[in-house]
């Protein structure tokens, strides 16, 4: 049993190495920005542990600095993280049987963690340990990046322009990897077309929710078509 768990931990560690590179860079950028805005070093790991929201942490720095109302902060958070509603719904069946791990798995479901877990096809009992350690490792990478950035931002001059592109680069890497591993490229194509159409119609600031809704509707219709017997 112990050897099996060690093997599972090793597999989770190897799977998350690409995320480590992305989270270290992006978390470092967040830490630098937070520190250069005058906030203490300890706030970076605290936000990474309790908030753990990636791009929303960047937005939160401006919200804290600007002194916005609670309602504005809540609406902004909902808009930025709306995609996680779809992530969570799609993982309900996958997390059944995770027992004590389930609350943390729900909390730690980021974009990159979701991509790694939803593509895993294991069906044995070790899969829940794998899910847990993938989620844990990814958050540890994020905490490390945020903390290092906050420490460095206190005494080194940094220009943070463009540093958030690390996240975009990481998404591209994950999509390319999934494209190579799966023969069915239709979901990726649907996502690309929905995002492009929403960008052209609604603009870059308002495209996220329409794109996610369109993707959800199209994939749901395709799923129903696949599971419906011929002739019904």
Number of Cβ within 10 Å of residue 134's Cβ equals: 25
The answer, yes or no, to whether residue 110 has pLDDT greater than 70, is yes
pLDDT at position 6 over 50 = yes
Would you say the C-alpha torsion 149, 150, 151, 156 has a positive or negative sign?
A: positive
DSSP 74: H
pLDDT tier at 133 (50, 70, 90 boundaries)? very high
Determine the average pLDDT of the residues in 97-103: 89
Residue 49 has pLDDT above 90, yes or no: yes
Tokens standing for residue 195: 């995002």
**What's the pLDDT at 163?**
58
In this predicted structure, the answer to whether residue 11 has a pLDDT above a threshold of 50 is yes
Q: Residues 71-96: what's their mean pLDDT?
A: 77
State the pTM of this model: 0.71
Q: What is the helix (H) or strand (E) element at residue 158, kind and residue range? A: none
Longest dimension (CA), the chain: 69
- pLDDT score of 142 more than 90: yes
Between 219 and 203, name the one with better pLDDT.
Answer: 203
Tokens 């609350």 -> residue: 103
pLDDT of residue 232: 47
Confidence of residue 9 (pLDDT cuts 50, 70, 90): very high
Residues 167-183 pLDDT 10s: 566 667 767 776 777 77
Contacts 24+ apart (CB under 8 A), 207-214: 208/79, 208/80, 208/82, 208/83, 209/79, 209/82, 212/82, 212/83, 212/86
Cα angle 74, 25, 110 (rounded to 5 degrees) comes to 45
pLDDT of 231: 47
Query: Domain spans of the chain?
Result: 2-163
d(CA 224, CA 166): 36
Task: Mean pLDDT check: name the lowest of 43-57, 160-174, 189-203.
Answer: 160-174
């Amino acid at each position: 049993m112990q050897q099996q768990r060690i093997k599972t931990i090793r597999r989770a560690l190897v799977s998350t190495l690409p995320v480590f590179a992305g989270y270290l860079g992006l978390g470092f950028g967040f830490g630098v920005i937070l520190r250069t805005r005058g906030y203490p070093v300890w706030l970076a790991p605290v936000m990474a542990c309790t908030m753990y929201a990636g791009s929303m942490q960047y937005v939160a720095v401006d919200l804290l600095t600007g002194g916005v109302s609670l309602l504005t902060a809540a609406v902004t958070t909902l808009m930025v993280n709306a995609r996680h509603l779809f992530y969570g719904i799609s993982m309900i069946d996958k997390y059944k049987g995770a027992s004590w791990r389930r609350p943390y798995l729900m909390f730690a479901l980021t974009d990159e963690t979701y991509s790694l877990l939803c593509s895993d096809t294991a069906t044995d009992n070790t899969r829940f340990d794998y899910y847990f350690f993938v989620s844990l490792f990814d958050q540890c990478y994020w905490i490390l990046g945020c903390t290092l950035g906050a420490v460095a931002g206190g005494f080194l001059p940094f220009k943070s322009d463009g540093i958030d592109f690390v996240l975009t680069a990481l998404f591209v890497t994950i999509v390319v990897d999934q494209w190579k591993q799966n023969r069915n490229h239709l979901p990726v194509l649907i996502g690309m077309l929905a995002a492009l159409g929403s960008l052209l119609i609604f603009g870059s600031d308002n495209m996220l929710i329409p794109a996610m809704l369109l993707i959800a509707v199209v994939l749901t219709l395709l799923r129903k078509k696949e599971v419906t017997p011929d002739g019904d």
